[in-house]
Amino acid sequence: MASHRVLCILFLFFLLFTSTGSYTAKIIKLSVSYDANFQSLELQELKAMYGYVSAEELPGNATLRLLSDNDKPLYELRVAFTEPIFVVNPPLVDVDTNEVVGSQGAESTRYPEKGIKEINVPYYENAALIEIAFDDGKETRFFIANRLCNNNGVCDAEESTVSCGDCKPDKPDNVCIAFDDNICDPDCALGVDIDCIRQQTKPTPIPLQTPAETPGEQKPMPRQEGINLIYCGLAVVMLLIALVVVYYRKIKGD
């Protein structure tokens, strides 16, 4: 029985350690859009938050580099961009041999589409540039420092409390940080941030109500006090009767 308890405690510690260990990494979430042949790349969105760093995609077809404001490499990752193509009437393929075995009757048509790739890189305070270099030589650079924080006192769309002092932890910034830190993050869903649960379940003090007294109004005597006075009165009367009886007996005896 005791060994079961020890195992349960160890398991809970393991869960706690592993969950916080992976969740507490500060990252920058990047959404890169691209067209066919990876001609025009755009950094559609970015946001600093807590989460997982993307795994290396080997062999991949491009290298993503995170650079500092003085072009110093901070982080490097191999990434695989897939051609954004939509095929109408694709030819029939043998699933075992992977060979084209015939067409579906109509000519197959390929339409170029827009692709979106999401990549999470570690967050660095001095991160300033993202460079995506394809193996065929195409290279694109995005300036990110000003997008992560422009220090204008307003929490802008791509800023968050992780990357910018313009955003406050108890105000909305579209990033939920559910730490037990006495701060209820309004971006967290119901029941996610323990501090918000505490805030909701905290009992609200009820003000003590004193009855309004009008001048000249007789305050009703409390019941117990009234009863005590009656007993006192009765005791005094009985004592007086007893004294009178004793006095008369004394006179008669004399």
Positions touching Ca ion (CB under 5 A) are 150, 152, 154, 156, 166, 179, 181, 183, 193, 195
Residue 248, φ and ψ in degrees, nearest 5: -65, -40
**Residue 77 or 193 having the CB closest to Ca ion:** 193
Angstrom distance (rounded) from CA 145 to CA 167: 15
Q: Which is nearer to Ca ion, 30 or 148 (CB)?
A: 148
Q: How many CA atoms lie within 13 A of 50 on its CB side?
A: 14
Could you give the CA distance from residue 50 to residue 47 in angstroms, rounded to a whole number? 10
Cβ closest to Ca ion, residue 49 vs residue 119? 49
- Report in angstroms how near the CB of residue 161 gets to Ca ion at its nearest: 11
Q: For residues 54 and 66, is the Cβ–Cβ distance under 8 A?
A: no
The type of residue at 186 is P
**Which residue's beta carbon is nearest to the bound Ca ion?**
166
Q: In whole angstroms, how close is the CB of 151 to Ca ion at the nearest point?
A: 7
Closest CA to 61 of 83, 80, 34, 40: 80
CB closer to Ca ion, 110 vs 198: 198
Looking at beta carbons only, is 38 or 50 nearer to Ca ion? 50
Minimum gap (Å) between residue 148 Cβ and Ca ion: 10
User: Is residue 140 left, alpha or beta, with left meaning phi > 0 and alpha meaning psi from -120 to 50?
Assistant: beta
Least distance from Ca ion to the Cβ atom of residue 124, Å: 19
**Closer Cβ to Ca ion, 36 or 184, answer by number:** 184
Residues pairing with 220 in the sheet: none
In the complex, minimum distance from the CB of residue 26 to Ca ion, in angstroms, rounded to a whole number: 16
Distance in angstroms (rounded) separating the CA atoms of residues 52 and 159: 19
Give the nearest distance from C-beta 220 to Ca ion in angstroms.
Answer: 52
Question: Token pair of 206, please?
Answer: 């009820």
Alpha helices for the chain (secondary structure H): 2-23, 145-148, 194-201, 223-253
